[in-house]
Structures are given as C-alpha cells and as structure tokens.
C-alpha cells in the first residue's frame, strides 16, 4: 500500500511539473510545434536516462526506480497528447508539421535520454 501511495504522489508531482511547463512564456518559440508537450517529454526522457543508468549500475533499487519512472516520469510525459497533436496535424493535412514534430520529438528525446545516462558514471 505504501508503494501505491508513493506512486500516486510522485505521479501527481510529475503532473504538476507538466502543468508548470505549460505556464512558461513559450509563445513564439517554434510556433508550429507543440512546445509544451515536447519539453515535458524531453525532460522526462532525460530523467529516464539518468535513472535507467543508475539502475543499470545497481545504484537504484526497484522501488525507487518505479516511483521515479512510473510515477514522476509517467505523470510528466504525455504520449497521449503527442498522439492527439499528431492526429490534429493529419486532420488539417499539415504533413510537413506532422513529420517535423515526430522527427524533432524522437531526436530530442533520444538525445536527452542518452545525455542523462552519460551524466552518471
């Protein structure tokens, strides 16, 4: 029961971080790209990279891994919103923006996951 409560609280904290990102004055930055979703997913991937490396090095126990990855990063990242935004691009026939967003998201998130892992020895 304690683990479920910690997952609940860490997931809520991730959600609050995502909401805080949406409050940042980001208008005008990459106007054709949903920057809030991209930033939330990128930050989550960076944290995942750090925690995955710590876990791989046996510096993180399973319970803490679940709390950070499933809880916090699960609340912070948003694949469902990413999918919805892609669907909006498809419906509006904005195929260049669609491909740009998908590629940019994959590249940035993969690079930040890798960078997060490289920061841990």
pLDDT at 25: 86
Return the pLDDT at 26.
78
At residue 28, the pLDDT reads 66
pLDDT at residue 57 in the model: 86
Q: How many angstroms separate the CA atoms of 52 and 109, rounded?
A: 14
Distance, CA of 24 to CA of 15 (rounded, Å): 15
Residues of the chain with pLDDT under 50: none
Q: Where are the domains of the chain?
A: 2-22+32-118
φ and ψ at 41, to 5 degrees?
-70, -40
């Amino acid at each position: 029961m304690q683990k479920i409560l910690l997952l609940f609280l860490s997931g809520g904290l991730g959600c609050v971080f995502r909401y805080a990102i949406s409050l940042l004055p980001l208008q005008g930055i990459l106007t054709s790209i949903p920057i809030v979703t991209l930033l939330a997913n990128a930050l989550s991937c960076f944290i995942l990279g750090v925690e995955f490396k710590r876990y791989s090095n046996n510096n993180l126990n399973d319970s803490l891994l679940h709390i950070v990855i499933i809880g916090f990063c699960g609340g912070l990242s948003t694949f469902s919103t990413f999918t919805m935004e892609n669907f909006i691009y498809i419906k509006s026939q904005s195929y260049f923006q669609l491909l740009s967003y998908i590629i940019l998201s994959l590249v940035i998130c993969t690079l930040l996951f890798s960078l997060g892992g490289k920061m841990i020895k």
